[in-house]
Amino acid sequence: MIKIGSRKSKLAMWQTETVASRLNEAGMATRINAMETIGDKVLDTSIAKIGSKGVFTAELEEQLASGVTDIAVHSAKDMQSQLPEGFVLIAFTEREKVNDVLLSHDRTADLADSNRPLVVGTSSVRRRAFLRHYYPHVQIVEMRGNLQTRLRKMEEGVCDALMLAYAGVKRMGYDNLIVKEFDEREFVPPVGQGCIAIEAATSIDADKMTQIRDCLNNKASETCLLAERAFLKKLEGGCSIPAFGHALLEGEEIVLTAGLASLDGTTILRTTDRGPVQNPAVLGEKVGEFILANGGREMLEEIRRAQG
């Protein structure tokens, strides 16, 4: 019996049920234990203000540590770059398309039209920074909550459009509302976007962990995520800083594009580098060090001062 911890939102449950189904097909029985995290409960405060470390994961990690659950299912982009001691990511699933998208009931909604500036809802500091950089005329409103909550707010007139990850939109069946798909080379996604991560306590039974990993882990995803997460760890970053990172495999090499934006979007530090697939973390650290050495340290200090 594999006991699985999950957040209660519809998207989190979709991801968890997908993981459970894969384990069931491999002959492992499962039981899901769903709960709300602080990030789900506190919707009137930005993630940066709550404190980015573990806002969507801390309660699930308590269950892992106590043995109530064996694994927790997360959106990889919600995972802090440095896990607390005693926890490890044991698998990464096959990755969905990584792009950001714009959702609206108005098919004529056009970000580029400065004569009719859109009001866009997003909770992401990275998306805010990119919007301010590429579409400075757009008005941005804070938008927390699950996908259904955000859609309801849009329908109530809080905003004209929502900026979200394609993966969640597709998984929830709202892709018919997509009016724009952002180029991932410009709007580089956050580390881990489109991928599901499986977390366990380091005390998990070794044979059980091997069975779960063999069933769920996608090697290509893991290689890319290890590079991206090493970059973010070098920046000591989480959900509250406008960092971004996207790795691709090209033959026997990993190509990593990553960087950092200022909160107001005026400055975007971005670089692309490559390295052998055998050493994804080395590449991520190298790219992180380059960003820090080329204005990133000062920008991070400014970001943290602004966020209090």
On whether the CB atoms of residues 37 and 55 are closer than 8 A, the answer is yes
Closest CA to 167 of 195, 145, 187, 144: 195
78 is annotated as an active-site residue: yes
| Catalytic-labelled residue, pool 40, 44, 70, 78 | 78
Residue 66's identity, in one-letter code, is: S
Tokens of 215: 């069933």
Q: Residue 8: name the closest of 28, 29, 30, 38 by CA.
A: 38
CA atoms of 121 and 106, how far apart (whole Å): 14
Closest CA to 73 of 133, 120, 7, 118: 7
SS3 206: helix
The helix-helix angle for 280-291 and 219-234 (nearest 10°) equals 30
Q: Which residues pair with 259 in a beta bridge?
A: 244, 270
139-142 vs 161-165, strand pairing mode: unpaired
Cα distance between residue 254 and residue 143, in whole Å: 34
Chain-centroid distance of CA 165 in Å reads 9
263: tokens are: 């909160």
β-strands 178-181, 100-103 pairing: antiparallel
Q: Is the dihedral of CA 70, 75, 76, 82 positive or negative?
A: negative
Report the alpha-carbon distance of residue 7 to residue 9 in Å, rounded: 6
Cα-based angle 45, 80, 91 (whole degrees, multiple of 5): 130
Annotated active-site positions, please? Answer: 78
